[in-house]
Amino acid sequence: MKGLVTLITPTGDRPLAFALCQNWMRKQTLQPYQWIVIDDGKIPVRPRESLTFGSRIIPMHYVRREPKKREPRCTLVLNLLIALPLIKGNKIIIIEDDEYYAPGYVAEMATRLDKHEVVGIGNTKYYHLFSGGNYRHKNKENASLAQTAFRDSFLPEFKKILNTNVEEPRIDKEIWQKLKGSDRGFIFNDDKKNPLYLGMKGLPGRPGVIGHDPESSPYRRRHCSPDISRRRLRDWIPEPEDYGIYIDIIKGKLTEENFNHE
């Protein structure tokens, strides 16, 4: 199954994270056909209308959703619902703005969608950038939404899941619960020698719902001691340039004011 890849990224009030996200997407070995960005931050990110991906210029479908006074704490669902009618590709990959995605991530997910309707990466890796707190989740039957992709045939079911999870999003669990017992979905682990992503926590900007507090219980467990040497960060981000970017952020050399993502 060959097809066109659409990326979807909800964002808001995370200028540094979104700048990094643009950098990671620009470096992908498989270039997307379309990138939909839904922004509901108090201050718009105002990205360019197109980005250069290798030798191609990819149009970014940027949508500004003005925040309202009475909205759920997490507006992820509201933003995703706006993105759905705009999709042009038949392979849809969710790209969260504050995650790290290795250069081969989009290609790997798109290839696996040739065989499965929905794919995701299990045993999710999380890393709190400034504290060094880290852990690997033991999820084997569901994947985080940030590491989930699906074919356009799944869109009607995805929309139904979104509409029933507006106030308290449990999107990822609902997706994989629906697929349980069928061969439509497939969970895999990325190779330790070639990691595909890292769930990055603690970047400046609007905090997420889970894992952004370095004092939360997962980081405090005995087997999740802080990565003071940053060796674990280097293992999970083996690309020297990408690893160096995060080290510069930790040291304060790289900020949302001076990061050049053009």
Residue 6's pLDDT is: 97
> With 60 as the cut, is the pLDDT of residue 211 above it?
no
Query: pLDDT confidence of 121, banded at 50, 70, 90?
Result: very high
User: Could you tell me the residue range of the domain that residue 113 belongs to?
Assistant: 5-250
Crossing angle between the packed helical segments 155-163 and 171-179, to the nearest 10 degrees: 130
* pLDDT tens string 39-73: 999 988 876 556 666 566 777 899 999 888 877 77
* pLDDT tens string 97-120: 999 999 999 999 999 999 999 999
Residue 262: inside a domain: no
| pLDDT mean across residues, the chain | 88
- How many structural domains does the chain have? 1
Residue 258: inside a domain: no
CATH number for the domain spanning 128: value is 3.90.550.10
Sequence-ordered list of residues with C-beta below 8 angstroms from that of 195, at least 6 positions apart, any chain: 102, 125, 235, 236, 237, 238
| Range of weakest confidence among 62-66, 178-182, 199-203, 214-218 | 214-218
Rounded Cα gap, residues 134 and 234, in angstroms: 12
Both tokens assigned to 262 = 């053009």
Residue 257's pLDDT is: 81
Residue 256: inside a domain: no
